[in-house]
Amino acid sequence: MNRKVVKVGLLGLGTVGSGVVKMLRQNVEELAQKCGYEVEIQRVLVRDLEKMRAVDVERHMLTRDVQDILEDPEVRIVIEVMGGEEQTKEIVLQALQAGKHVITANKDLVALHGALLHRAADENGVELLYEAAVAGAIPIVRVLKQSFAADNVREVMGIVNGTTNYILSKMTAEGAAYEDALAEAQQLGYAEADPHADVSGLDAARKMAILASISFRQAVELADVKLEGIESVTQQDVERAKAGGQVIKLIGRARREGSAIEVSVAPMWLEAAHPLAKVGDCFNAVYVYADALGEAMLYGRGAGEMPTASAVVGDLLAVLRGRKFAAAQPQQMARWA
């Protein structure tokens, strides 16, 4: 079969990056059948060339110099799973300006610089996709962009941080104190040693800024998100809620009323019968209310190596199947240059 090979540059080889390498290798045949392209990883940006990795990557593929990827004309798609904000923004911007499609799992990047990066992608006729940046295994970005594309979204409401949901679920189900539930989340690897970004609601706020921007088709800044974390939720609060048939959840909400958009993250008391009240453990769920489609909910794992890698590879497939990729074959560009 006469397949075209597509070369991909990978930025980062941590947990998610390793998962992406594994999935691409395991699925090379299946992906080729689905999109007609054989995907090859050309180069991988790492900090340390000697570090032990969860996957075997040949030494000559590794580089510490991002320009080896950005300036390689064979690399048509860049997958950014290294994290970071300012410096990463410059790198992604350069990739887009070089006519490379970009897939990122970096919610901080998209929440802070999404408008700028989208503009660069549009100007250069390339895709910028970030399904993995919001709620891991839940394909909410794609669903909002595509399935609700012909609809008028009124409200998005969700549990988009798995760590805080795990902590609150523990406090509710087992009567655990906040500190004990947090310590357990840390032991299980659900919470970082410094849990600030999660428990303060900041992580959820970044995701809600992204979901609001997509839903309402205008840039919602992180600074515009009203923010309250779960640090002050006590076992007494949880018990009082329970006594009233309610459950406390950290809820992100994005609402539009006329031209006013309101986005917030805060602990909310939900009726126990509310579908979001039943989302336990470290699961995520997002509710969408739209004029035509009515209400819909998506539920799944919010994080993890393979769910996140799977979302990245799903985006890769979308790039390869898309109009922009077909429209800008480098061979053709070379011919007309």
Burial level of 328, CB count in 10 A (0-12/13-18/19+)?
A: middle
From 89, 207, 278, 324, active-site residue: 207
Stretch of residues binding a copy of itself (CB under 8 A), selected from 28-36, 170-178, 182-190, 207-215: 28-36
Segment near a copy of itself (CB under 8 A), from 59-67, 86-94, 234-242, 325-333? 325-333
CB of 300 to a copy of itself, least distance (A): 3
d(CA 306, CA 123): 32
Closest distance to a copy of itself from the beta carbon of 295 (Å):
6
Residues near 133 by Cβ (< 8 Å), separated by ≥ 6? Answer: 104, 105, 106, 107, 109, 110, 141, 207, 210
Helices 107-123 and 86-97, axial angle in degrees (round to 10): 20
Q: Per rule CB under 8 A, is residue 130 in the interface with a copy of itself?
A: no
Is residue 155 involved in binding a copy of itself (CB under 8 A)?
no
Q: Residue 186 burial by CB count (10 A; 0-12/13-18/19+): exposed, middle or buried?
A: middle
Give the CA-trace dihedral at 44, 49, 51, 57, to 10 degrees. 40
Is 304 one of the annotated binding-site residues? no
Judged by CB under 8 A, the chain residues 70 through 99 that form the site for a copy of itself are none
The whole-angstrom separation of Cα 286 and Cα 282 is 14
Q: How far is the CB of 293 from a copy of itself (least distance, A)?
A: 4
Binding-site residue set: 12-17, 107, 192
Enzyme catalytic residues = 207
The residues binding a copy of itself (CB under 8 A) are 19, 23, 27, 30-31, 34, 131, 137-139, 142-143, 146-151, 275, 278, 290-301, 304, 306-307, 309-311, 313-314, 316-318, 321-323, 325-327
